[in-house]
Structure 1
Amino acid sequence: MTSYAQLLDQVREGALGPDPAALRIAVAFTTRQAARHDGRGTGYRNEVLSLRLAEAVGSCAVEPGALPDSALDDCVGADLARLLEHPLEPVRVAALDAYLMHTAPHTRASGAESVPLPTGSSLVKSRARARAVVELLDLPAGATVLVVGVVNSLLAELRSRGLDYVPCDLKGGRTEWGEEVTRDALGAADACDALLVSGMTLGNGTFEPLREHALRHGKKLVMFAQTGSAVLPRFLGHGVSAVCAEPYPFFWLDGGPGVVHRYRCDGGRR
């Protein structure tokens, strides 16, 4: 798979599984959350669109308040072929994710390494996920990582390993440690040794330029994905070096045990 557009075309044509026109979404829902972990000076909000296809759930995060209520009505009972052509990018991404979760779920046969997350507070689980993600970078101390989609637990894990980073997020602002957050990911990428990127970039259209940058310059690109967890492993070896996939339900939804699924280029390709 060489581009996101080509992946979409293959799914629309039924080249990767059943005809999407024959599959319908039974349930569409949004999950909205605000969090401020103990001991942290800042908080954050999440909003995620999720589509249920049989046993699978596909998801795409959106900026809080950006998704119109009509999107849910558009999705319920609609066939996948129609949703893959929907005018809203997050709907198209969630539909693609649901299709690929349905046809090729996260299993060892697909190249996934399942990593358990412990029970505990949201901060305990956030830190455990951060370790699972950052281990995929496998960089020497002193390397600089572009982090697209600021998550303080990820930044803290990078700091603990002696890695420098450039935080980037479309919202801008500052990190927990007062560092300025750039909005220009590609502008900052040249000076970085590797990229650590949120799956949210699928939903806002910024994934492809980052993938192409990593491919062109031979840099590691590690994705951490609640958005498009079944989509991004398709790009292993095509700019993406590794993926930490986290399908719904996400770690922040309850205190029980959880799991993430890690993929590496040398661990099989879907």
Structure 2
Amino acid sequence: MPPPDPDPQSPATLLGLARERIAALSTALTPESFTITAETRGVITRALGGEGADYLDKFILLETALGWGSAFCPHHDRHTEGRAIGADARVLRSGHVCVDIAALDAAAIAIRMQPSHSVTAGGTTHQKGKVRAELVAAEVDRVLPSAGPARVLLVGVTAAMVEVLVERGHSVLASDLDPEIIGSEVHGVRVHPGTETPQLLAEADAAVISGMTTTTETVDDVVAAAVAGDVPLIVFAQTGGRLFPLMLGHCSGAVVAELFPFYMLSGNTTFDIYRFARESHR
């Protein structure tokens, strides 16, 4: 997929850039197409199989006539019910970052971006999670400047992602903002606090980042550090899967966007892979 044309007057934040492009590219549709008609919040509890306490995933889904937008949310319990209903998803400013990102994600459906390819997976949560991890790891291998083991930073830790990267021989660095897992080891990899991400990026040959960097409001700093260090980025995105292809045209790497229903829910899950390339200065 060709990246969007860079905008020399783009706003200071990547989400601002996405909002601007959605507004510019959606004028052919009626405002009613972007009216939020439903809000769903959910909590998924996953047993980690002896790796520690059960893990909670909290998410928000917003529906328009175009489809669903999603955001996994570390601040899930702090927003008011129904505050998004009736709003235009392109311009919603709810005061809650997760709601706003889910709204923009729904609005971005109007852009109809074409992925490089798509993969649909069925089976159990574990099986589909392994498929996602393999897709991400394949993109890591594709963007590395040379074949063979590399130093790969994982920003937003998932056990399956660590496992697959280690299996491929990579030296994995990991960071997260969740105090429950900071300092722990996942498949032999120590989890560093998210505040150390810029330093870890300086040591990495490639970085894999979670879409939740939008809801933790760290995405701008992470992407800026990656671009400054010429480190290719691979994004795995349940949160903002449609937004990252709009935001990352100036980066090398890929987005593995996960469409609802997510891999930890029943039914088939589809992953859209968007690829980007720019001239490297290595």
- Per the TM superposition, whether the score is higher than 0.5 is yes
Number of aligned residue pairs: 254
- Cα deviation digits, residues 197-237 of structure 1 (max 9, x gap): 00000111111112122222221100000000000011343
Report the Cα offset of residue 20 of structure 1. 8.5
Picking from 85, 99, 104, the partner of 1:91 is 99
Percent of aligned pairs with the same amino acid? 28
**Cα distance, 1:20–1:188 mapped onto 2, change above 3 Å:** farther
Work out the CA distance in 2 between the residues paired with 1:177 and 1:132: 19
Work out the CA distance in 1 between the residues paired with 2:228 and 2:83: 38
Report the Cα offset of residue 180 of structure 1. 2.6
Aligned residue number for residue 196 of structure 1 = 208
**Cα distance, 1:20–1:10 mapped onto 2, change above 3 Å:** farther
8 Å Cα contact 2:251/2:276 also seen in 1: no
Picking from 53, 73, 76, the partner of 2:85 is 76
Name the aligned partner's letter for residue 155 of structure 1. V
Name the aligned partner's letter for residue 59 of structure 1. S
Work out the CA distance in 2 between the residues paired with 1:210 and 1:127: 25
Aligned residue number for residue 143 of structure 1 = 150
- Which blocks of at least 5 consecutive residues in structure 2 are unaligned? 1-5, 278-282
Report the Cα offset of residue 30 of structure 1. 1.0
TM-score if structure 1 supplies the norm length?
A: 0.86
Aligned residue number for residue 190 of structure 2 = 180
**Cα distance, 1:54–1:173 mapped onto 2, change above 3 Å:** farther
Name the aligned partner's letter for residue 108 of structure 2. L
Work out the CA distance in 1 between the residues paired with 2:30 and 2:159: 38
Report the Cα offset of residue 240 of structure 1. 4.7
Q: Aligned to 1:227, what secondary structure does the other structure show?
A: coil
Work out the CA distance in 1 between the residues paired with 2:251 and 2:153: 15
Q: Aligned to 2:25, what secondary structure does the other structure show?
A: coil
TM-score if structure 2 supplies the norm length?
A: 0.83
- Which blocks of at least 5 consecutive residues in structure 1 are unaligned? none
Name the aligned partner's letter for residue 96 of structure 1. L
Work out the CA distance in 2 between the residues paired with 1:258 and 1:113: 14
8 Å Cα contact 2:119/2:272 also seen in 1: yes
Aligned residue number for residue 280 of structure 2 = none
Work out the CA distance in 1 between the residues paired with 2:190 and 2:35: 44
